[in-house]
Structure 1
Amino acid sequence: MKQAFKRTITTILLIFPAIFVLAQTTVSGVVTTKQGEPIPGVNIFIKDTYDGASSDDEGRFTFRTSENAKQVLMATFIGYKSWEQEIDLTSDIKLKIELQESVNTLDAVTITAGSFTADDEGRASVMKPLDIYTTPSANGDVMAAIRTMPGTQASADDGRLLVRGGDVYETATYIDGLVAAKPYYSKTPDVATRGRFSPSLFNGVQFNTGGYSAEYGQALSSVLVLNSTGKAENDNTGISLMSVGGEANHTSSWDKSSLMLSGGYINFSGYDKIFNSNIDWEKPVESVNGTAVFRYKPRSSGLFKAYVTTDYGNLAYNVPAGSDGHPMKISNRGTTVYSNLSYRDCISDKSCYRVGVSSTFQDQQTGLAADDVNTREWSVETRFALVHDLSEGVKLTWGANGTSHLYNQDYIQDEGETYTGEFDDHLLGVFVEPEIKFSKNLAIRPGIRSEYSSVINRWNVAPRFAVALKTGENAQLSGAWGMYHQTPQPDYLKLTTDLDFEKATHYILSYQFGDVSERLFRAEAYYKTYSDLVTYSAEENGLPSNLQNTGDGYAGGLDIFWRDQKTIKGFDYWVTYSYIDTKRKYKYYPEKATPEFISDHTFSVVGKYWVNKINTQIGMSFTAASGRPYNDPNSTVFNGEKTKMYSDLSLNFSHVFYLGNQYSVFYCSVNNVLGNDNILSYRPSDLADAQGNYNLIPVKRDLKRMVFMGLFLNF
């Protein structure tokens, strides 16, 4: 009946234009942020109708509607909460709409040291999910996007985070304050991996390159803290169609709770057939994954979060490294399950607490030619922390965590020999950390952490200290010092437990000037010393022997960050530069040397421009890095040679369109647009020529040029 009535009215209005004009009501106004800045491209419409408009460059909008009486006006835009308000269409309406940032997708990456605080959030790089998705070189990977931040290495052949001279294992990943023991998909030689967790699950990514809080341990170099989203406010169904697979998700929201279920499938077989890969694939990467996210908010101060994800992957390829002159087959398949349960609430208006438990289970089968390596790991962490506002200028945080780690590995050689390594470790950690604000210009944060590891039967004590001094309205000078410990890696503990903690000491001084929402400059100098690093001798069977804590080293350098979101309207860019000088003696190194994953100089620039008229964002990222050391067995100097400079120019664009009142995105990116044939390292073959010289095999990226397309639909 209603549709028939509308058709009749439409016919009448088409016949009588004058009446049509008089029967319509004008809705106009402006859309801004909480700070009063105009937001272009916002979709404003009357709910359950097609009447509406998009805001212009100044945030203004206007449209006419034949609807009457009371209706609901809505405004939606990526990165902001949906806005709605009941309006009376008996006369023209003029509104000022103020949008708030969404807890699910935030729209920028910022370094927040400009805010006056001595805590981690005040000195860390913070990246938001939308920024990860729109960084061309990242392809939706948290770790790849973080590598555009200062203090990191390009690591195109690895994919994991390498921070300020530290090895991969020296960076710990936390989700809602709980450790994620396996944050990456399995790593195999010559093939880069990527982060396991989707950026859309988090409302912020905090990356700290050193000098971090006493709340965290078991990381010699840095911590990556992922803060997950809260309760979803709306029902939503999403379908993603990608050039490498697909994904589907559905969210249901109720009064006090929400549930999100998602599943995905990835297969690179098509890429292997279309593009000329540098890898001799026998089975390109194939994986399937599933995720469930449940949120329950019993009251305003309380929130329960439950997050479970699982994935299965399979791959196989050949590398030219066989001792008999033939390629060696490398394969990997396995399953990983990660769960994270947490609850936070307040005891009073001055005391709040967080409790939680996380669990990681991984079962991996790796094939190395005719040898098989079967590894099973299970890690469970429980943690609690309490925060007390003791007075206006004093806040005290304290807590504890306990971690159980079960490890078992069978190395089955072709000859029938089986080597079994296993251990159980129970780690207990406690910390206390006050933050004291002497005035609006000076704050300090002393802290101390202590840990006990049962597998090595040793305690450690780690004092830490941070200070922040406000030197101007938008300027801050800050510093940090601290001691950090880490239990030796499972590859060592499976062979011997007669080891000690590895140790590092950080010294950091930084200066920052500017407004994080407009223009920001930051420079940070650091120096880091290592001691008690694990060293060993490499045996012919590939297993290490004579493991000891006799290694040491240092890393020092300068990181520079500049971001400008104001000079050119609609254009946002940031530039980073990192210099590092580092050497260490660890693993099988015969002498102190620069590790093979280090580039002395790394430069990155990322730019994004929003074209309002066509609802499209164009992005560019460029990374250049000086050559990395590699070991030539024909040389007398260990790690004495270097590769040529590495460079990568990547482009992308994202076109936003609406299906009803839900936004959808068409996305396309091209990595290494110029097709540079970057040599990332060299690996010596196992065969020597008549003169005793070994051939060097260049290590390159899987695909010289990567093209990715995706259609992300929301309903």
Structure 2
Amino acid sequence: MTHLQCHIKRAVSFIICGIVVIAAVIPMQAQQRGQTVIKGIVLNEKGKPLHLAHVMVEGTSNGDVSNREGRFQIEMPSSGSVVIVVSMVGYAPAKEEVNVEAAKTVEINFQLQRKQAKLDETTVTADAFTTGDTEGVTLSPTEVVTTPGAAADIFRSLQTFPGVSNMDEGSGLFVRGGDVSEVSFVLDQAPVIHPYKYERPTGGVFGTIPPFLVSGTYFSTGGFSAKYGNAMSAVLAMESKGMPDANQFDANIGMAALSAGGAVPIVPDKLGVRFSGNRSLSQFMFKVNGLADDFEQAPMGADGNFSIIAKPYQGTTIKFFNYVNSSRVGVPVPQPSFDATYRSKEQNRLHNLQWKQLWSNWLVKTSASVNRYQNDRQLGGLDLNEADRAYKLRSDLEFSGFENMIWYAGMEWGRFGNEFTGQLPGDEDILDPTADFYTIDEQYFTKRLGGYLESEYQLLPQWKLRLGVRMDYENHAKEWTIDPRISLQYQVANHSNIRLASGRYHQYAEPFQYNSATGNRNLGVQQAWHYIAGYEFKKSLFHVRMEGYYKSYDDLIIEDEQQNLSNTGYGEAYGADFFFKYSDFMRTPFNGWISYSFLRSKRLHPRQKSGSIDYEYAPSAFDITHNLNVVAKARLVDMLTGGFTYRYSTGRPFTPVISAEPASGGYYLPVEGSVHSQRLPHFHRLDLNLSYYWVPKQNWSVIFYTSVSNVLDRKNVTDYTYNNDYSQRRPIYSDYSRFVYAGVTINLEL
């Protein structure tokens, strides 16, 4: 164990002990009689609850932040007359004097009004989509679960949004001409270094984090805030659920999984826990669908979550989030010279301790996290064990004390490592167990330091500006990066706006790429520039967005004949996105959305030719020209709902094999044609679902659901394979033929 790990372990142990003490002390405090309390609800001008409004006792640091129901509660140390001040960005502050009597509870409600202006105030977001229960969101967690074909997966649901390319039938997020590795994933300020289950080069089959573990997500496909670094294309920031307000229990029984979970407020508004567990058993599901023979080991796994949330003092929240999942799979993979089976066993652990503190107009968030990942993979003679580690400390600060301006600042420090043991092929194109292999036992580590400063300023009633700068340093690259970022939004009318955004985004090499044997110790930092212009209209049930963008890439890491790897790559991506959405799930008898993306993406590619490397500037592997998604849901009869999702995308580019050269041992090495000069056939898929919502008694619900994926049973081509001498090519079809799934979900609130 390293010196850093020891320090983090001691720090986490110390804070856990603190939580245990809190758990013991809070019940004793709650038993004390005669608390003096001010509580109430904060509403907007339409009478709807306002989330995250600051409610403070004037002249003190005593206060609270309203929850999703707009509720707040302040414990008073003494009686007397006080002034309560309520504020929220975009609303005029409100004050009211309250006379507090000892051992009494005073209830007071506030209704905030929009600041007086010719047009509604704006909020700057450069092409950001969110999921959650907050005002102005695009998808709620319920809609994630009810989207046909999404398999109740956050990432698959986001694939139906514009700007995300359908590379295959997995959950990988390829954003605006960028690779899946160019997306940063964050949960409660902690990095999620392996965000996919059943990983593969295009991401994975599912996302790691289930939708009902999070209260909301922020997904930006470009021009995102200076808060986020080390990502050239996109960021997905998730927030786990907070303090439970009631005893809740749920269970799910499906053809491939059994799960259960709950939430218990041990001491209301003071101490609560959330927990869940899931066991995947897909053998029965594949047998019903006639696919059991496609696997040596059908996908199976388990995951569990346990979170403790404590509010020991007014304005203080401590959350200890723990999530563990494991999975394994074995599937035949045809190879030119032998019959192979790919086997994988992986485990992912995330532990994060977060502290939030509100002082008057200051909001501070600090977290310490550990993310551990391990994967054992076998294919032919390949036998590789990978272990990745991420240790992160992060703190974010928000100050809203100035009129028409909010300041944001933060710092982060992390240590990241890759460890590899096992055996690798002498030639990456030959995996036959009888071929030559070599053993490895290597470890690589890097350290990163970063910080940012950003402000959001209401220039005029119609104009809002967000200006920020970010700096990062990594010990191997040995250079500071400076990333300026700017967003400007103009409110055309009460329900429409025009937005512009630009910024520079850097991304460091992975730790293992710095090794001297197959990498380069002197690798620099990759970078991209984003330029975005868009229009948005949102009124009542309708939401329309149109955006155009251009991205330039420089200093990309590519294969180099002399140095193994170098920063000589470059590229570009440009395109346009369109999004139309009507209503929300169950709000009207019908709801849905249509998204379309046009994309052109090119990069410099290395090409192996008879022992040397040539370079071609050609379409990238993720240059999916057209993407179309149509999602529709309708209430059919009473509480019976149905829906469909249709997906179409241009076939992805691939490099054809045009001949082969003999190699030792009777093997052949492929000779490739022009890079990405051919495309797979176009992708089509139609998914249907049906669900019935039953309420046996108040606060109890049962949902029966069934779905049919790939209803038309289309044989989408995912790749090509060749015979031993590469003289014959045959398509590899998707494993997702017509597929039936069914189950029942039970939710209880006690």
* TM-score bucket (shorter structure): 0.7 to 0.9
Measured against aligned partners, the alpha-carbon deviations of 1:340-367 in whole angstroms (never above 9, x if no partner) come to: 221212122x111111122210121111
Structure 1 position 221 matched with structure 2 position 244: no
The question of 1:448 aligning with 2:469 is answered yes
SS in 2 for 1:437: strand
Distance of 1:295 and 1:668 partners within structure 2: 35
Does residue 196 (structure 1) correspond to residue 208 (structure 2)? The answer is: yes
Check whether the contact 1:465–1:482 (CA below 8 A) recurs between aligned residues: yes
C-alpha distance in 2, partners of 1:381/1:179?
8
Question: Would the alpha carbon gap of residues 526 and 189 (structure 1) be closer, same or farther in structure 2, given more than 3 Å must change?
Answer: closer
Q: 587-596 vs 443-452, which deviates more?
A: 587-596
* Greater mean alpha carbon deviation, residues 181-190 or residues 403-412: 181-190
Q: Does 1:657 align with 2:724?
A: no
User: Equivalent residue for 1:318?
Assistant: 332
Q: What is aligned with 2:627?
A: 602
* Aligned partner of 1:468 among 489, 494, 504: 489
Residues 425-469 of structure 1 show CA distances to partners (whole Å, capped at 9, x for unaligned) of 110001000111112211111111010111332221111111111
> Whole-Å Cα distance in 2 between the matches of residues 587 and 459 of structure 1?
28
Q: Distance in 2 between matches of 1:696 and 1:116?
A: 59
8 Å contact from structure 1 (residues 277, 704) kept in 2: no
Count of paired positions: 597
Partner residue of 2:657 out of 633, 644, 665: 633
Alignment partner of 1:265 is 2:279? yes
Work out the CA distance in 2 between the residues paired with 1:244 and 1:697: 31
- 1:578 Cα deviation after fit: 0.2
- Tell me how far apart the structure 1 counterparts of residues 178 and 167 of structure 2 sit (CA, whole Å): 12
Question: Where in structure 2 are the equivalents of 1:307-706 lying within 5 Å?
Answer: 307-322=321-336, 324=337, 326-348=338-360, 350-413=361-424, 415=436, 417-494=438-515, 495-515=519-539, 517-536=540-559, 546-565=564-583, 569-586=588-605, 590-611=615-636, 614-634=638-658, 636-661=673-698, 662-682=700-720, 684-685=721-722, 687-688=724-725, 693-706=726-739
Q: Structure 2 vs 1, CA of residues 279 and 524 (structure 1 numbering), >3 Å: closer, same or farther?
A: farther
Counterparts of 1:510 and 1:121 in 2: how far apart (Å)? 8
Question: What SS does the aligned partner of 1:226 have?
Answer: strand
Cα-to-partner distance string for 1:660-685 (whole Å, 9 max, x where unaligned): 32112112111111111111333x43
Residue 275 of structure 1 aligns to which amino acid in structure 2?
Answer: N
Determine helix, strand or coil for the equivalent of 1:271: helix
Q: 1-side partners of 2:676 and 2:297: how far apart?
A: 33
Query: Alpha-carbon deviation of 1:251?
Result: 2.0
Distance 1:622 1:600 in 2: 17
Compared with structure 1, are the counterparts of its residues 358 and 149 closer, same or farther at alpha carbon in structure 2 (3 Å cutoff)?
Answer: same
What one-letter code is carried by the residue in structure 1 that aligns with 2:412? Answer: N
Q: More displaced, 116-125 or 164-173?
A: 116-125
Q: What is the CA distance between 1:133 and its match in structure 2?
A: 0.3
Give 1:338 deviation, angstroms: 0.8
| Structure 2: runs of 5+ lacking an equivalent | 1-43, 49-67, 72-118, 132-138, 425-432, 609-614, 659-671
Give the stretch that moved more between structures: 137-146 or 562-571. Answer: 562-571
Confirm or deny: 8 A CA contact 2:417 2:511 kept in the other structure. Answer: no
SS at match of 2:724: strand
SS of corresponding position for 2:196: coil
* Corresponding residue of 1:171: 183
Quick one: distance in 1 between partners of 2:577 and 2:362? 37
What residue identity is the alignment partner of 2:746? Answer: L
Please give the alpha-carbon distance, in whole angstroms, between the structure 1 residues aligned to 2:631 and 2:47. Answer: 26
Asked whether the equivalents of residues 263 and 275 of structure 2 are also in contact (C-alpha less than 8 Å), the reply is: yes
Amino acid at match of 2:410: G
8 Å CA contact 1:118–1:444 kept in 2: the answer is no
TM-score with structure 1 setting the length: 0.79
- Over residues 205-244 of structure 1, what are the superposed CA-to-partner deviations in whole Å (9 max), with x where a residue is unaligned? 2210000000000110000111222211111222210110
The C-alpha deviation readout for 1:372-413, integer Å capped at 9, x for no partner, is 111111101111011112411111111100111122112414
Match in the other structure for 2:262: 250
SS at match of 1:130: helix
1:303 offset after TM fit, Å?
2.1
In the alignment, structure 1 residue 128 sits paired with structure 2 residue 140 = yes
Does the aligned pair in 2 maintain the 1:242–1:711 contact within 8 Å? yes
Change (3 A) 1:570 1:300: farther
CA distance in 1, matches of 2:120, 2:410: 25
**TM-aligned CA distance change 1:562 to 1:332, over 3 Å:** same
Deviation string for 1:278-305 (max 9, x for gaps)? Answer: 9841111110111112211234533222
Helix, strand or coil for the counterpart of 1:143? Answer: helix
Alignment partners' CA distance in 1, 2:571 and 2:717: 27
291-300 vs 365-374, which deviates more? 291-300
1:204 alignment partner, SS class: strand
Tell me the TM-score normalized by structure 2: 0.75
Distance 1:192-1:173 versus aligned 2 partners, 3 A rule: closer
Write the distance in 2 (CA, Å) between the matches of 1:561 and 1:704.
Answer: 29
Is the CA contact 1:376–1:408 (under 8 Å) kept in the aligned structure 2?
A: yes
Task: Report the CA distance between 1:191 and its aligned residue.
Answer: 9.5
Structure 1 gap segments, 5+ residues each: 1-32, 38-79, 84-113, 539-543
1:101 match: none
What is the CA–CA distance in structure 2 between the aligned matches of 1:386 and 1:190, rounded to whole Å?
Answer: 35
Tell me the alpha carbon deviations over residues 473-504 of structure 1, each in whole angstroms, 9 at most, x when there is no partner.
Answer: 11101111000011113452343322011110
Q: Distance in 1 between matches of 2:126 and 2:483?
A: 21
Other structure's SS at 2:657 match: coil
The answer as to whether partners of 1:121 and 1:206 remain within 8 angstroms in 2 is no
CA distance in 1, matches of 2:191, 2:546: 29
Contact 1:139 1:669 in 2 (8 A): no
Q: Distance in 2 between matches of 1:545 and 1:686?
A: 33
- 574-583 or 202-211, larger mean C-alpha shift: 202-211
Which amino acid counterpart does residue 552 of structure 1 have in structure 2?
A: Y
8 A Cα contact 2:153 2:211, kept in partner: yes
Task: Say whether the 8 Å CA contact 1:444–1:468 is kept in structure 2.
Answer: yes
The separation in 1 between residues aligned to 2:221 and 2:177, in whole angstroms, is: 11
1:588–1:401 distance in 2 versus 1, CA, 3 Å: farther
Tell me how far 1:339 sits from its aligned partner.
1.4
> Structure 1 residue 537: deviation in Å?
5.2
State the identity %.
24
List 4+ stretches of structure 1 deviating above 6 A. 80-83
SS state at 1:156 partner: coil
Residues 511-551 of structure 1: CA deviation (Å, up to 9, x unaligned)? 11232x4112110000000011111159xxxxx96210000
In the alignment, is the contact (CA less than 8 A) between 1:118 and 1:445 conserved in 2?
A: no
Distance 1:223-1:621 versus aligned 2 partners, 3 A rule: same
Paired residue for 1:153?
165
Counterpart of 1:76 in structure 2 is none
TM-superposed CA distance for 1:35, in Å, is 5.2
Contact 1:603 1:623 in 2 (8 A): yes
Q: Distance in 1 between matches of 2:445 and 2:587?
A: 57
3-state SS of paired residue (2:318) = strand
Q: 1:173 to 1:115 in 2, by over 3 A?
A: farther
Contact 2:347 2:375 in 1 (8 A): yes
Contact 1:190 1:699 in 2 (8 A): no
SS in 1 for 2:457: strand
